[in-house]
Homo-oligomer: A and B are copies of this chain.
Amino acid sequence: MRTVTIADVARHAGVAVSTVSYVLSGKRAISESTSERVMRSVRALGYHPNAGARALASKRSNVIALVLPLRAGMHLPVLMQFATSVVTTARRFDHDVLLMTADEGPDGLRRVAASAMVDGLVLMDVEIHDPRVPLLRDLGEPSVLIGFPADASGLTCVDLNFAQAGAICAEHLAGLGHREIALLGAPNVVYKRGTAFAERVMEGFVAAGHRHAAGTVAWPCEETFDEVCATVSALLERHPGTSGLVVHNEAAVGHVLGALRVLGRRVPQDVSVVAICPDDVAERASPALTSVLIPAEDVGAQAVNLLMAKLEGESVPEATLLNPRLTVRRSTAAR
């Protein structure tokens, strides 16, 4: 069963090859009747254009690259959500997605760009001093970053508005009457690495606390149960008036509840808890946690939308921030 080519379709429909091409691309006006005859032949023969030939002739591959971060051991479940939403959205624009890891280094990006495999790039989980960024600049390939590097000028970046995520948590707790609130963040190493989002959450949290006249503290938090226990009890000892707790650490959130249980603090009667985490984690906890969601799907979809706009030659904003959403559950209560 030989593969069906555009010539087969043309012959079957009794038209020229170019006519078939124009019917399919819509780049020239074709009469209703011809167009329909061609489409019938396309379906009858089960024709699918050869991607290589198309790319060669049109200089467009209809493929975008999705570049994962180099950092190993990053198995954030959200990454998978990003990825699937990127794929789904790209398909909506009739594009496919080439998956790359950054551990090929600059050469990898150079390779896919130079070989015309892809029309553009989406880089996930960009860090403040991301080595991929300078490369990207002189590659001149259309691209969108998820995350913000230190110098974002001339680039197109999308991200969750992390500062607002921190702020929303503080405001929710302050609104319930809590006057001393605390944030438990990522492990120390994350701040050291310069992962922007972690710091932004803290800043937003602290700023919003000040605005609402609530006392704030923000501590990093390791991820083993024992360390979480120690951190929580030290925190409550140092700041005994703390009645609101924000946890921005997906791995630790379960442990925090365990620690409070061990320390004899009831949630939400003694301490209200807000988590910044996926909904399923929040719902599995006991009590179910009031939480701020990271809208991974939206971020991925928006990144692709922007990239497609760039491919069409439209100009797009340099920065796009997506707003987080707070869901109230059973772990927060008025003081």
Cβ-defined contact, B75 with A224, below 8 A: no
- Complex CA gap A322/B84 in Å reads 27
> B100 contacts A257, CB within 8 Å?
no
Question: Would A285 and B75 count as touching, CB distance under 8 A?
Answer: no
Residues of B within 8 A of A46 (CB): 114
Main secondary structure of the interface of A (DSSP, over half): helix
Question: Which of A55-63, A198-206, A268-276, A313-321 faces chain B?
Answer: A55-63
Judging by beta carbons under 8 Å apart, are B101 and A98 in contact?
Answer: no
A127 at the interface (CB under 8 A from B): no
- What is the 8 Å Cβ interface bit string for chain A, positions 242-282, against chain B (1 contact, 0 not)? 00000000010011011001100000000000000010100
B278 contacts A116, CB within 8 Å? no
**B-facing mask of A109-134, CB < 8 A → 1, else 0?**
01110111100000000000000000
CB neighbours (8 Å) of A83 from chain B are 80, 83, 99
Interface size classification for chain A? 35 or more
> In the complex, how many angstroms separate the beta carbon of A93 from the nearest chain B beta carbon?
13
Q: Which residue of B lies closest to A262 (CB)?
A: B261
| Contact across chains for A52 and B63 when beta carbons are under 8 A apart | no
Selected from B224, B251, B254, the residue in CB contact (under 8 A) with A255 is B254
Within the complex, the shortest CB–CB distance from A41 to chain B, in Å, comes to 15
- Identify which of A68, A103, A284 gathers the most chain B CB atoms within 10 Å of its CB: A284
Q: How far is the CA of A114 from the CA of B52 in the complex (A)?
A: 11
Chain A residues numbered 36-61 whose CB sits less than 8 Å from any CB in chain B: 46, 48-56, 61
Q: Which of B91, B103, B104, B255 contacts A104 (CB 8 A)?
A: B91
Known A75-B80, A79-B80, A225-B257; judge A99-B111 contact (CB<8 A): no
**Nearest chain B CB to A132's CB is how many angstroms away?**
16
A180 interfacial contact with B, CB 8 Å: no
Task: Give Cα A284 to B49, complex, Å.
Answer: 51
Q: Which residues of B contact A61 (CB under 8 A)?
A: 51-52
Q: List 21 A-B contacts (CB under 8 A).
A: A46-B114, A48-B110, A48-B111, A48-B114, A48-B115, A49-B115, A52-B56, A52-B116, A55-B55, A56-B56, A75-B80, A76-B80, A87-B100, A88-B101, A88-B103, A225-B254, A226-B286, A251-B284, A254-B254, A255-B286, A258-B261
